[in-house]
């Protein structure tokens, strides 16, 4: 980074960053790539293959913590290193991508006067309610990925906070349309780690779908601790031969399946005991980018990501019959699937990552400008 670079300085803090898989990882990286009007320095947790990955990118990333260290210890180290990095970098604004980084963001705010923008997704709010309240109350700007997430944040804070809803974005795809799979195929792209994602419901629905679409196949991309249980459930329902569990795959293979499948199905539900469910669901937009309709739960952030009857079908995620009927309908009615997929593609174009990054960038620039007005020396060169 040139010493003559006059762009404002942004410190981005995140426990989740590629090459580790996951939705927050994608959001963080796309913002690092897209916030071009800032000098950005990122502090992120280490991950397998991180050194090789970072070497192929232009972004300045400081990796923290070895994989053998317990996650809680790595997060504590992330916060400690972030504060030290801030003292050297002297940021004009701080973007915290997850509430576990909010202690460092708050410390930087107190020490340097740099305003803080705090991202919220969903699941983490119910898991750490007190920290969620702290993160929202100490921030100068709160970004929620959906109206549902905004409601979760507002319910946790003692005093009203201003919340800006900026949805997740999507990478658009180009090229000729792929030939569909030989068998009628619906796809699920999600870690098999959280029960609320609905893999169990899809197994039950698959048995009903097959009664009307005998040669149907369900392709599952993703891995996690619940995978063996879902595979056993498929065996017990007698549909193991119609289910393909591919595990974790690269982006190219995932895109190939999205291009060749008839639809994506992920009927996420709301977990019990006050925990949040789907904050938004990038997978829904990824399917839309390929012109594919989706079947999703009619709760949580999925209602922001999917427009019922326009880009997909929203159903009761706890009703296996409703899930099965929606999947069957799209498999047997190609005209409906085509119409919903085409509308989904149009919506994906309006939510492409460059457009979403620009919305975040505008908010961050306003924070930086507000600080400069109150502190004329804030933008002075590093000493």
Q: What is the CATH number of the domain that holds 140?
A: 3.40.50.2000
The 8-class DSSP code of residue 101 comes to G
Q: Residue 143: what are its φ and ψ, rounded to 5°?
A: -110, 125
**Residue 180 falls inside a structural domain:** no
134 plus 198 within the same structural domain: no
pLDDT at 355: 97
What are the CA-CA distances from residue 239 to residues 12, 184, 207 (Å)? Answer: 45, 15, 6
Both 346 and 357 in a single domain? no
The model's pTM: 0.89
Strands 263-266 and 217-221: unpaired
In this predicted structure, what is the pLDDT of residue 32?
Answer: 96
In the sheet where 294-297 sits, what is the strand order?
Answer: 243-247, 217-221, 185-189, 263-266, 294-297, 312-315
Q: The dihedral of CA 23, 115, 141, 125: what is its sign?
A: positive
pLDDT at position 325, please?
Answer: 98
Task: Note whether 198 and 259 are same-domain residues.
Answer: yes
The verdict on 193 and 153 lying in the same domain is no
Q: Is residue 178, in this structure, part of any structural domain at all?
A: no
| 22 shares its domain with 136 | yes
pLDDT at 67: 64
For residue 114, report the phi and psi dihedrals to the nearest 5 degrees.
-75, 125
**Same domain assignment for residues 192 and 129:** no
Q: Are residues 207 and 256 in the same domain?
A: yes
Q: Output the tens digit of pLDDT for each of the chain's 383 residues.
A: 556 889 999 999 999 999 988 889 999 999 999 999 999 999 999 988 999 999 999 899 999 986 667 777 899 999 999 999 999 999 999 999 999 999 999 999 999 999 999 999 998 998 899 999 999 999 999 999 999 999 999 999 988 899 999 999 999 988 657 888 999 999 999 999 989 999 999 999 999 999 999 999 999 999 999 999 999 999 999 999 999 999 999 989 999 999 999 999 999 998 876 566 788 889 999 999 999 999 999 999 999 999 999 999 999 999 999 999 999 999 999 999 999 999 999 999 999 999 999 999 999 999 999 865 555 444 433 32
Asked whether residue 1 is assigned to any structural domain, the reply reads: no
Between the two ends of the chain, the Cα-to-Cα distance in Å is: 15
Residues 345 and 358 in one domain: no
Residue 278 pLDDT: 82
At 2 the pLDDT is 55
Q: Please tell me the number of Cα atoms within 13 Å of 215 on its side-chain side.
A: 4
Alpha-carbon distances of 178 from 290, 328, 347, 349, rounded to whole Å = 10, 22, 20, 19
Task: Single out the residue of 76, 46, 37 nearest to residue 363, CA to CA.
Answer: 37
Domain contains 203:
yes
Select from 213, 212, 281, 322 the least CA-distant residue to 26. Answer: 281
pLDDT of residue 88: 96
Domain that holds residue 303: 185-350
In a domain, 383, yes or no: no
Helix, strand or coil for residue 39? strand
Let me know how long the chain is: 383
Task: List residues bridging with 349 in a β-sheet.
Answer: none
176: in domain: no
Same domain, 39 and 71: yes
One domain, residues 135 and 217? no
| pLDDT of 4 | 83
Cα(246)–Cα(261) distance, rounded to whole angstroms?
A: 14
Amino acid 380: pLDDT: 36
Please report the pLDDT score of residue 381 as a whole number.
Answer: 32
Query: Do 134 and 102 contact (CB within 8 A), yes or no?
Result: yes
Residues 198 and 342 in one domain: yes
* 120 plus 243 within the same structural domain: no
Based on the structure, what is the number of domains in the chain?
2
Q: What contacts 285, CB < 8 A, 6 or more positions away?
A: 168, 169, 170, 305, 347, 348, 351
116 assigned to some structural domain: yes
Instruction: Note the pLDDT of residue 274.
Output: 58
Q: Is residue 175 part of a domain?
A: no
């Amino acid at each position: 980074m040139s010493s003559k670079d006059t762009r404002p300085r942004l410190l981005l803090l995140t426990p989740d960053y590629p090459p580790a898989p996951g939705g927050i990882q994608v959001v963080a990286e796309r913002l690092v790539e897209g916030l071009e009007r800032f000098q950005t320095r990122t502090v992120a947790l280490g991950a397998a293959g991180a050194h090789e990955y970072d070497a192929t990118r232009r972004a300045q990333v400081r990796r923290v913590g070895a994989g053998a260290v317990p996650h809680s210890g790595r997060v504590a180290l992330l916060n400690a290193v972030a504060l030290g990095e801030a003292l050297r970098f002297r940021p004009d604004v701080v973007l915290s991508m997850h509430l576990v980084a909010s202690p460092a963001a708050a410390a930087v705010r107190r020490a340097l006067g740099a305003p803080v923008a705090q991202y919220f997704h969903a699941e983490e709010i119910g898991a750490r309610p007190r920290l969620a309240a702290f993160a929202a109350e100490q921030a100068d700007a709160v970004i929620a990925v959906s109206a549902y997430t905004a409601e979760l944040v507002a319910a946790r804070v003692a005093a009203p906070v201003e919340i800006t809803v900026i949805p997740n974005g999507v990478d658009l795809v180009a090229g000729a349309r792929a030939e569909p799979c030989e068998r009628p195929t619906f796809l699920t792209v999600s870690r098999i780690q959280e029960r609320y994602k609905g893999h169990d419901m899809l197994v039950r629905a698959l048995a009903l779908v097959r009664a009307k679409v005998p040669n149907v196949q369900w392709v599952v991309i993703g891995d996690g601790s619940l995978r063996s249980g879902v595979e056993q459930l498929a065996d017990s329902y007698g549909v193991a031969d119609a289910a393909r569990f591919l595990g974790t795959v690269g982006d190219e293979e995932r895109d190939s399946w999205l291009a060749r499948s008839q639809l994506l199905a992920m009927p996420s539900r709301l977990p019990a005991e006050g925990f949040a469910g789907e904050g938004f669901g990038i997978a829904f937009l990824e399917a839309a980018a390929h012109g594919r309709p989706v079947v999703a739960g009619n709760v949580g952030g999925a209602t922001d990501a999917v427009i019922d009857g326009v880009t997909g079908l929203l159903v009761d995620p706890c009703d296996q019959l409703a899930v099965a009927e929606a999947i069957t309908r799209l498999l047997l009615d190609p005209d409906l699937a085509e119409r919903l997929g085409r509308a989904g593609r149009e919506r994906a174009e309006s939510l492409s990552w460059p457009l979403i990054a620009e919305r975040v960038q505008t908010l961050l620039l306003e924070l930086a400008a507000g600080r400069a007005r109150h502190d004329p020396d804030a933008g002075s060169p590093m000493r």
